[in-house]
Amino acid sequence: MSNLNQWPDSEKPREKLLNRGPAALSDAELLAIFLRTGIRGKNVIQLASEIISHFGNLKSLFSATEQEFCYIKGLGRAKYVQLQACLEMSQRYLAEQISQQDVMKNPTQVKQYVQSKLLGKPNEVFAALFLDNQHQVIAFEELFFGTINSSSVHPRVVLQRSLALNAAAIIVCHNHPSGVAEPSLSDIDITQTLKSALQLIDVRLLDHLVVAAHQVTSLAERGQC
């Protein structure tokens, strides 16, 4: 049925979201709400499904360049601007959620925040959340940039930034562009190296988070930090 108006209300994306919540919707249905309208010969659900099929997943869609995004029929610069605004608002919302509280009291929000910051990066990025004595966020900084499967992490730089920001504790994180959030042996090794180095300046390493598209792995939760 190509005409969405002929669908039962319970199956229309907007009504479905209002009645059952956003988690009940598929990726295509969520994207359809963002798109609002389809194109000639395709309703908005069909268009959304084709867009996701073209990019492979929402992660690739969200990280697409303006040129890649606007290449798809039914999209354009206005939609690209809207999408970037939505992504930025979600990041700011997550930042606000963790900025005025002890981050250790809600590790799920911390994981969501670092995931939003590193999601879609084509290469590895190593970053840190610098915290004060109450474990409130001072700053989030990207520190090192690597190839698609490795990055060179220099403990001296981490120590310098910790001292410059007067941090009492930090949480480090990096992404795996492969999409697999399993820590490597080198991830575990650099965690221990950083922990020992930071102890020399009385800064606590609270966790090392490995970020992938659909999962964030905590080395602290595994007893490896």
Burial class of residue 9 in the structure, from the number of CB atoms within 10 Å of its CB (0-12 exposed, 13-18 middle, 19+ buried)? exposed
Please give the residue range of the domain that contains residue 139: 96-218
- CB 193, CB 182: distance < 8 Å: no
**Residues 47, 133: one domain?**
no
Q: Where residue 5 falls among pLDDT bands split at 50, 70, 90?
A: low
Q: Are 164 and 128 in contact (CB under 8 A)?
A: no
Q: What is the pLDDT of residue 194?
A: 95
How large is the greatest C-alpha to C-alpha distance in the chain, in angstroms? 68
Confidence of residue 83 (pLDDT cuts 50, 70, 90): confident
Tokens, residue 112: 């969501």
Under the banding of pLDDT at 50, 70 and 90, the label for residue 98 is: confident
Note whether residue 89 is domain-resident. no
Q: Mean pLDDT, the chain, as a whole number?
A: 86
In this predicted structure, the answer to whether residue 9 has a pLDDT above a threshold of 70 is no
Residue 165 in this model has a pLDDT that exceeds 70:
yes
100 and 58 within one domain: no
CB 203 within 8 A of CB 167: yes
Asked if 100 and 70 sit in the same domain, the reply is no
193 and 139 belong to one structural domain: yes
**Residue 168: predicted pLDDT:** 96
Q: Quick one: tokens of 87?
A: 């992504």
The pLDDT tens digits of the residues spanning 23-44 come to 888 888 888 888 888 888 888 8
pLDDT over 60 (residue 139): yes
Is residue 71 situated within a structural domain?
yes
Say if residue 104 is in the same domain as residue 183. yes
Same domain, 25 and 104: no
Helix (H) or strand (E) holding 19: helix 13-20
153: its two tokens: 């992490």
Would you state the structure tokens that stand for residue 144, as one six-digit string?
A: 């090192």
- At 1 the pLDDT is 46
Q: Is there a single domain that holds both residue 49 and residue 110?
A: no
- pTM for this model (two decimals): 0.68
Classify residue 21 by burial, with Cβ atoms within 10 Å: 0-12, 13-18, 19+. Answer: exposed
Which residue has 């209300």 as its token pair? 9
Asked if residue 170 and residue 140 are part of one domain, the reply reads yes
pLDDT tens-digit series, residues 47-58: 889 898 998 888
In total, how many domains does the chain have? 2
Instruction: Judge whether 88 lies within some domain.
Output: no
| Confidence label for 133 from pLDDT (cuts 50, 70 and 90) | very high
* Residue 225 located in a structural domain: no
- Give the residue-averaged pLDDT of 93-114: 79
| CATH code for the domain of 157 | 3.40.140.10
User: Looking at residue 140, what is its pLDDT?
Assistant: 93
If you average pLDDT over residues 129-147, what whole number do you get? 91
Regarding predicted confidence, which is higher, 146 or 162?
162
Residue 144: the pLDDT is 93
Q: How far is CA 79 from the centre of its chain?
A: 20
Mean pLDDT of 166-170: 96
Residue 201 and residue 17: Cα distance in Å, rounded? Answer: 50
* DSSP letter for each residue of 29-96: HHHHHHH---BTTB-HHHHHHHHHHHHSSHHHHHT--HHHHHTSBTB-HHHHHHHHHHHHHHHHHHHH
Q: Which span out of 18-27, 48-57, 154-163, 173-182 was modeled with the highest average pLDDT? A: 154-163
Residues 214 and 123: their CA atoms lie apart, in Å, by 17
Question: Do 133 and 205 belong to one domain?
Answer: yes
> Is residue 126 domain-shared with residue 197, that is, in the same domain?
yes
CA pair distance 220, 205, nearest whole angstrom: 10
